[in-house]
A and B are shown apart, each in its own frame.
Chain A
Amino acid sequence: GAVVSQHPSRVICKSGTSVKIECRSLDFQATTMFWYRQFPKQSLMLMATSNEGSKATYEQGVEKDKFLINHASLTLSTLTVTSAHPEDSSFYICSARQPGLARDNEQFFGPGTRLTVL
């Protein structure tokens, strides 16, 4: 299957700083990428949908000015958590769709990024 990578896998930062997380589709071109957030013992929550070359669509309750998403190429999307605070500490997971598949809906998930804000 297709591979999606994330970098970094783990990051610790101070409150008030910004953190950038990269999501790459390694062996396919992804026109659409998704960002999820997962708090301990909870399920994945969709944050936003990112289409290459256009603005991301954010889910209700997700601050677009705080979680900046850039999808500048077909293999890379970035999520920047601006002015991070301890409540932003979470497991961030990206996912990418591979167009052209018969089922046309398969999403491939990255391994996740553990963000800890001190």
Chain B
Amino acid sequence: DAKTTQPPSMDCAEGRAANLPCNHSTISGNEYVYWYRQIHSQGPQYIIHGLKNNETNEMASLIITEDRKSSTLILPHATLRDTAVYYCIVRVNNRAALIFGKGTTLSVSS
């Protein structure tokens, strides 16, 4: 199973870009990288996912290195409401469920 490694916590000033790294060195060629976040006492919220190319949507951008061994989630202008635990997940081959690691607790302050 491909595993991910994320820093346990990060701080970001409101209005600045938040760059959240994730290592997934054992990822296989057909596995996607997913990012979810969980605001306190709520269910996880989908943010973005990608395979090889960089992706952007209304919430964030996902930058995947060429060797696919790591990726970075970018929140371009962090707000206080972006304070949450961010999970980088590689879909486990042949399994339907998303398996969560420990994630990164992002604290956005004014």
Tell me the residues in window 22-52 of chain B with beta carbons closer than 8 Å to chain A beta carbons.
32, 36, 38, 41-46, 49
Bound together, the chains give a CA A117 to CA B42 distance in angstroms of 20
Say yes or no: A34 contacts B97, CB within 8 Å.
yes
With beta carbons under 8 angstroms apart, the residue of B32, B42, B98 that contacts A111 is B42
Which of chain A's residues have a CB closer than 8 A to the CB of B43? 4, 6, 93, 95, 109-112
Residue of B nearest to A93 (CB): B43
Chain B residues near A64: list those with CB within 8 A: none
Answer whether residue A106 sits at the interface, using C-beta atoms and an 8 A cutoff: yes
Q: Closest CB of chain A to B88's CB: distance in Å?
A: 12
Q: How many A-B contacts at CB < 8 Å in the complex?
A: 51
Segment from B62-70, B71-79, B99-107 that makes contact with A:
B99-107
- Interface SS of chain A: helix, strand, loop or mixed? strand
Q: Is the CB of B96 within 8 A of A46?
A: no
- Chain B, interface residues (CB within 8 Å), range: 20 to 34
Alpha-carbon distance A91/B99, docked complex (angstroms): 16
Q: Is A90 an interface residue (CB 8 A)?
A: no
Q: Are B99 and A46 in contact (CB under 8 A)?
A: yes
**Cα(A110)–Cα(B43), bound, Å:** 6
Instruction: Give min CB distance, B36 to chain A, whole Å.
Output: 8
Task: Judge whether B49 and A97 touch: CB under 8 Å.
Answer: no
Q: Residue A114 at the B interface, CB < 8 A?
A: yes
Which among B45, B49, B103 is the interface contact of A109 at CB below 8 angstroms? B45
Pairwise interchain contact B101-A91, C-beta atoms closer than 8 A: no
Rounded to whole Å, the gap between the CB of B27 and the closest CB of chain A is: 15
New A-B contacts (14) at CB < 8 Å, excluding given A45-B100, A91-B41:
A34-B98, A36-B100, A43-B87, A44-B44, A44-B100, A46-B100, A49-B96, A49-B97, A93-B43, A95-B44, A105-B91, A107-B46, A111-B42, A112-B43
Listed from nearest, the 4 A-B pairs whose CB atoms lie closest are A109-B43, A44-B100, A43-B100, A109-B44
* 19 A/B residue pairs, CB under 8 Å, sorted by A: A1-B46, A4-B43, A6-B43, A32-B96, A36-B100, A43-B101, A43-B103, A44-B38, A44-B44, A46-B100, A95-B44, A103-B32, A103-B49, A107-B46, A109-B45, A112-B41, A112-B42, A112-B43, A114-B41
